[in-house]
Amino acid sequence: MSKKNALVRLTAIQNHISNQPKPTGPTDLTRERENATFNVKHMNWLFWGDKEFAEALQDAFLIIQRDPNLCFPAGHHFDLTRPEQREFTMKQIFRYRQLRESLKNPLLIKALETAMSIYSESFMMRTYVHDILFLQSFQVFGTKEQYDSYIDDILKWKVIGCFAMTELGHGSFLRGLETTATYDSKTDEFIIHSPTLTATKVWIGMAGQTATHTIALCQTIVNGKMYGVNWFIVQLRDQKNGRLLTGVTAGDMGEKYGRNGLDNGWIQFSHVRIPRTNMLMRWAKVTQEGKYIPSANPTISYSTLIGERLTVLPGAVSTFGQILTIACRYGCVRKQGANDEQIMDYQSHYVRLMPCVASTYIIEIVNRMIMNKWQEIMKLVQTNQEEFASYLPDMHAISTGLKATVTWWGCEVLERVRRSLGGHAYSSYNAIAGAIGDWGVVTTGKKIIGSAEFMNNFQQIRSITKSTLSDEGQLLDLNYTLEMYTWLSSSTTDEETTWHNNQVYAVKLGELYSYRFTLSEYMKAIEEYSSSKTSEFKALVPILTKLGNLWAIHLIHDSLGLFLERGYFNGEQVQMIRKCYLELCKEIRKECIPLVDSWGYPDFVLKAPLGKFDGDVYPAYFNIMRAAPDCIGVPSYWEKYIKPLTNS
């Protein structure tokens, strides 16, 4: 049946159902919106930083929605095949690059980049690989000459880059990598080589189909001696025709669990010769005579990983924000039980979702603070290398801990949202399934342990042995709850902190540190808003504080076992915490629709009919199913495999 016929028939069906009652969803959401104790528009400004950027972002969304080269085919983004997804994402990038040229307003350009990254995970990943991983390698590891000779081509995407680190046999343990860069002083060249199958670079974003160049991490061999890993520029494909260069074998990794618009690839090098000057030599160097000059600060090799880890934060906010908007709206529209209650009014429902909503605010605000700090530090690369290096251990610890903790919490958020949608989460047309797939790649294989850097200044708190909690009101003081958390994260026994004896509890400890960090940073932000000159933001402090309280109590509630084991709380205090936790969830639940509205994700970005702003969810959901390819009609295999049975 043609698409047009399908629509005609659809309308007929809809008219045919005579007794159609008025949908209650819109009324429900209108009522929920009246519960707001704060100004949603002002919260939208705060969430995106300021009024100007928040408005530019809405403009950017409009540009996307109206541009067929940016906007996915209506409703059926999830029906695209893998090759179609790969192509569509590159089409988006191409169009986005055209628009960058024509748009004059730098704020709008920035907003468009953000909006596209929110709209498409695969767009975000492909541009991230080139614009951040590849480009920053030149900034951080390249000499001034190296940077200058490539930067124009990189900015124009004349050179398209990827970042080749992980290998088939080796993940994040860099010292174990097998790819070699052997210096040949006769020709002043390095020979890049994959000596074994397990040395194959794998999971390299954009290496599958797009990248013309890569930055490859290789074991450096000079005069037969191994000097550890360094970064090398290697061209992969001819910029004229896209063909692989001699000695380079690279391909696409095929079907993945998510992000199928990103061409993850594998690369094998077979004695590829590159000029010596293709080694990025800002820190370690190899001279023409074959002398290896090591880096003064070897930890710098890992510094691009800090930025890479931190990007998990905006990624989390974008994912959480979208799926929680869907879950909260649907939860307020969906009815269940004898009295047709909104499912969001079930305690078991809102207690699972409200801490997720709170965490989205906390993570976004903390994210902005850390990103600003990291950008300041990055500027030092060009001006004060020693100071730059001095910040690295701390940022290394923070970024490692946050990445692990936020990705784990992300799995929890996705799972909670998935369950909150019941069976409908299972349909690809409600975006949740896709979000779970996309998130999959973010999670690290193992939890990573936070650095002991966090342990400073906790000494006086360690001397406390019992909680002084005696009144529920104390739990609404963020300084008070933070102290509880500080106590817990510093109260572990020596045995528990020792990596080899007890990895399991050490992992838990790392998580505690990172959560404590988010809480203390968030408190600093609230303090700033409290004394802000923008009265719109000042007025939001009460609701922001309430969100912080919920996050704090949620964290304590989640670790009650550890508190009890160490004798900090007694049973009565635990009951108090439980009660306060449930009450805070109930309070936030009242404003859950205004809180998700404030993020301002348009319906077309959410891609989920059940999360529609107007609450009229069922016709939208049905229409999208109804328009799925081959929805109605005798299936092509009827004659072969069904008819012989039913006509036997």
Strand partners, 230: 218
C-alpha 255/C-alpha 354 separation (Å) is 35
* HSE, side-chain direction, 13 A CA sphere, residue 605: 25
Number of Cβ atoms within 10 Å of the Cβ of 373: 15
The reply on whether position 209 binds a copy of itself by CB under 8 A is yes
Candidate segments 33-41, 354-362, 369-377, 445-453, binder of a copy of itself by CB under 8 A = 445-453
Among 26, 171, 228, 602, interactor with a copy of itself by CB under 8 A? 171
* HSE, side-chain direction, 13 A CA sphere, residue 350: 22
Binding to a copy of itself by CB under 8 A, coded x per residue (else -) over 55-94, reads -----------------------xx-xxx--xx--xx-xx
419 burial type by CB count under 10 A (0-12 exposed, 13-18 middle, 19+ buried): middle
C-alpha 157/C-alpha 93 separation (Å) is 10
* Least separation in angstroms between CB 311 and a copy of itself: 17
The footprint of a copy of itself on residues 466-505 (CB under 8 A) is: 502-504
* Least separation in angstroms between CB 175 and a copy of itself: 7
Kindly list the strands in the beta sheet with 201-204, ordered across the sheet, starting from the edge strand earlier in the chain: 201-204, 265-269, 248-252
C-alpha 137/C-alpha 162 separation (Å) is 10
Candidate segments 35-43, 108-116, 206-214, 275-283, binder of a copy of itself by CB under 8 A = 206-214
Q: Which residues of 530-565 are buried (b: 16+ CB within 10 A; e: fewer)?
A: eeeeeeebebbbebbbbbbbbbbbbbbbebbebbee
* Least separation in angstroms between CB 275 and a copy of itself: 21
Instruction: Tell me 170's DSSP state.
Output: B
Ligand-binding annotation for 179, yes or no, is: no
The reply on whether position 433 binds a copy of itself by CB under 8 A is yes
Which one, 210 or 219, has the nearer CB to a copy of itself? 210
* Least separation in angstroms between CB 151 and a copy of itself: 15
**Strands 341-342 and 335-336, how do they pair?**
antiparallel
Ligand-binding annotation for 166, yes or no, is: yes
The footprint of a copy of itself on residues 555-584 (CB under 8 A) is: 560-561, 564-567, 571, 574, 582
Which one, 433 or 543, has the nearer CB to a copy of itself? 433
The reply on whether position 621 binds a copy of itself by CB under 8 A is yes
Among 3, 175, 186, 533, interactor with a copy of itself by CB under 8 A? 175
Q: CA nearest 444: which of 166, 129, 119?
A: 166
> SS3 of 2, please?
coil
C-alpha 433/C-alpha 261 separation (Å) is 16
* Least separation in angstroms between CB 278 and a copy of itself: 19
Among 3, 4, 240, 533, interactor with a copy of itself by CB under 8 A? 240
Among 64, 70, 135, 159, interactor with a copy of itself by CB under 8 A? 159
The reply on whether position 20 binds a copy of itself by CB under 8 A is yes
* Least separation in angstroms between CB 219 and a copy of itself: 14
The reply on whether position 250 binds a copy of itself by CB under 8 A is yes
Binding to a copy of itself by CB under 8 A, coded x per residue (else -) over 183-202, reads -----------xxxxx-x-x
> SS3 of 193, please?
strand
* Least separation in angstroms between CB 128 and a copy of itself: 17
Which one, 463 or 647, has the nearer CB to a copy of itself? 647
The footprint of a copy of itself on residues 447-466 (CB under 8 A) is: 447
C-alpha 524/C-alpha 531 separation (Å) is 11
The reply on whether position 347 binds a copy of itself by CB under 8 A is yes
Which one, 379 or 578, has the nearer CB to a copy of itself? 578
C-alpha 145/C-alpha 207 separation (Å) is 26
Q: CA nearest 163: which of 212, 216, 211, 113?
A: 216
* Least separation in angstroms between CB 632 and a copy of itself: 4
Q: Which residues of 67-81 are buried (b: 16+ CB within 10 A; e: fewer)?
A: eeebbbeebebbebe
C-alpha 441/C-alpha 449 separation (Å) is 19
**Distance, C-alpha 246 to centroid of its chain:** 36
The reply on whether position 100 binds a copy of itself by CB under 8 A is no
Binding residues for a copy of itself, how many (CB under 8 A)?
134
Candidate segments 15-23, 38-46, 311-319, 322-330, binder of a copy of itself by CB under 8 A = 15-23
The reply on whether position 19 binds a copy of itself by CB under 8 A is yes
> SS3 of 204, please?
strand
**Strands 248-252 and 265-269, how do they pair?**
antiparallel
The footprint of a copy of itself on residues 220-239 (CB under 8 A) is: 239
> SS3 of 120, please?
coil
The reply on whether position 541 binds a copy of itself by CB under 8 A is no
Q: Render 468-506 in DSSP notation, one character per residue.
A: ---SGGGGG-HHHHHHHHHHHHH---HHHH-TTT-HHHH
The reply on whether position 351 binds a copy of itself by CB under 8 A is yes
Among 49, 68, 73, 422, interactor with a copy of itself by CB under 8 A? 422
The reply on whether position 249 binds a copy of itself by CB under 8 A is yes
The footprint of a copy of itself on residues 398-417 (CB under 8 A) is: 411, 415
The footprint of a copy of itself on residues 357-396 (CB under 8 A) is: none
* Least separation in angstroms between CB 479 and a copy of itself: 25
Q: What torsion, rounded to 10 degrees, do the Cα atoms 619, 621, 622, 624 define?
A: 120
> SS3 of 184, please?
strand
The reply on whether position 255 binds a copy of itself by CB under 8 A is yes
The reply on whether position 4 binds a copy of itself by CB under 8 A is no
Instruction: Tell me 638's DSSP state.
Output: I
Which one, 168 or 523, has the nearer CB to a copy of itself? 168
Cα 470 to Cα 444, 465, 489, 597, distances in angstroms: 40, 15, 22, 37
Which one, 478 or 553, has the nearer CB to a copy of itself? 553
Candidate segments 384-392, 443-451, 458-466, 478-486, binder of a copy of itself by CB under 8 A = 443-451
* Least separation in angstroms between CB 432 and a copy of itself: 8
The reply on whether position 645 binds a copy of itself by CB under 8 A is yes
Phi, psi (deg, nearest 5) at residue 176:
-85, -5
Which one, 307 or 355, has the nearer CB to a copy of itself? 355
* Least separation in angstroms between CB 50 and a copy of itself: 33
The footprint of a copy of itself on residues 319-338 (CB under 8 A) is: 335-338
Which one, 531 or 648, has the nearer CB to a copy of itself? 648
Residues annotated within a binding site for FAD: 166, 205
Residues annotated within a binding site: 166, 205
